[in-house]
Amino acid sequence: MAGCLLSAGHGVTLWNRSPGKADGLVAAGGRLAATPRDAAENADAVFAMVADDAASRAVWQGPDGALASIRRNAFAIECSTLSAAHVQQLASAARETGARYIDCPVTGLPDAAAAGTLTLLVGACIDDIEAARPLLEPISSRIFRFGEVGAGTAYKLLINLMGAVQIAGLAEGMALAQRLGLDGETVAEAIVAGTAASPQVVRHAARMARRSFDEPTFTAALRRKDAAYGVELAHAAGLAVPLGEAALSWFDTASRTDPDGCEGKVVDAVLARG
């Protein structure tokens, strides 16, 4: 995402908790900052993409967080998948500094991020989105506005909870196929060609069949985190989500089994539970 902003001609100051990961961006013209506070100083906009609420809180609101130096009317653009409660709290803190908060989770794999073809799921006032459009367009191919701040996160959490259900359902099907002695690759090919297919199913079926879990694009632990935030949001809205809760349970097991592994390894958790 930072590379796309650089390619579009924007000046970009970078901060990463693992500084070496920014070396390529520095070589492309970015400036490496020592802290998020340093990175945000005098910026027109501050983007964040981190794993969870705790990481978001640290980069925005910690002692060296971006909100300590963000200037009035600058955009605070949070692209991470976070809990609904944290987004509202963070948006309030940003507004207290005079910044304009854009709730902007994204969908798309790492190659889409590198190509600038992410889909942005935005919650913000229309005027702020239009003013920020020159910053949002270089990283995206589509921008959906779901409403005011919090609405983008609400959609991201519900769609990711649906995705967790689909992946867990696929894992159960693949585990049953294995228990019945069916050829895994033939099963995966038939599932992808059939009515049960979805982008999540298509993405994971062959990997599950082949046990090809190297170089994951998303971990079981992160999928579990998203599902937990989604279930929390549903409960706050007064809605029971038994399928979502069942998927969360599967990802709890998968995350404990292999916290650093591919989310496709949920099939092994299904097999382990019998």
Cα separation, 102 vs 52, in Å, equals 17
Interacting residues of 37 by C-beta distance below 8 A, sequence separation 6+: 64, 65, 66, 68, 69
Name the nearest CA neighbour of 105 among 78, 140, 141: 78
Helix (H), strand (E) at residue 121:
strand 118-123
Beta bridge partners of 101: 76
Tell me if residue 156 is catalytic.
yes
Active-site choice (21, 156, 225, 265): 156
Q: Determine the 3-state secondary structure of 163 from DSSP.
A: helix
CA angle 192, 256, 263 (to 5 degrees): 20
Active centre residues (catalytic):
156
